[in-house]
Amino acid sequence: AQSVTQLDSQVPVFEEAPVELRCNYSSSVSVYLFWYVQYPNQGLQLLLKYLSGSTLVKGINGFEAEFNKSQTSFHLRKPSVHISDTAEYFCAVRLGGGSQGNLIFGKGTKLSVKP
């Protein structure tokens, strides 16, 4: 069965600094990978997803992520964060290849951007 590990539960960073939120997954078959953001008292919103092709995926709000099959990682990056990026970020995995498998979420990383 597939699983997702988000290595940091909290990441504090200063405004305009770069940030990387780490995600590792475990699966013996091909997967699709997703990053979602959750602002306080709101539902989850898709930032980006990797389905196939280029391993560098660009998403909304200036975020990007890189799929690394050999390291089974899908880290999320932003070169310069804003106060408004303060939120909780979830990495998720779903089985690929036409499977009907569920979306499995990590425990989340709380990004706190300080002025």
Would you tell me which residues interact with another protein (CB under 8 A)? Answer: 4, 32, 36, 41-46, 49, 51, 90, 92, 94-96, 98-103, 105-108
Angle in degrees, CA 1, 73, 44, rounded to 5: 75
Of 66 and 105, CB closest to another protein: 105
Six token digits for residue 2:
């597939």
Q: Give the 3-state secondary structure percentages of the chain, helix then strand then coil, rounded to 5.
A: 5, 55, 40
Q: Is 1:101 a contact under the CB 8 Å cutoff? A: no
CB of residue 105 vs another protein: minimum separation in angstroms?
3
Phi, psi angles (nearest 5°) of residue 92? -145, 150
Measure the CA–CA gap between 77 and 96, rounded to whole angstroms.
Answer: 24
CB of residue 46 vs another protein: minimum separation in angstroms?
5
Of 32 and 67, CB closest to another protein: 32
CB of residue 80 vs another protein: minimum separation in angstroms?
26
Of 26 and 80, CB closest to another protein: 26
CB of residue 81 vs another protein: minimum separation in angstroms?
22
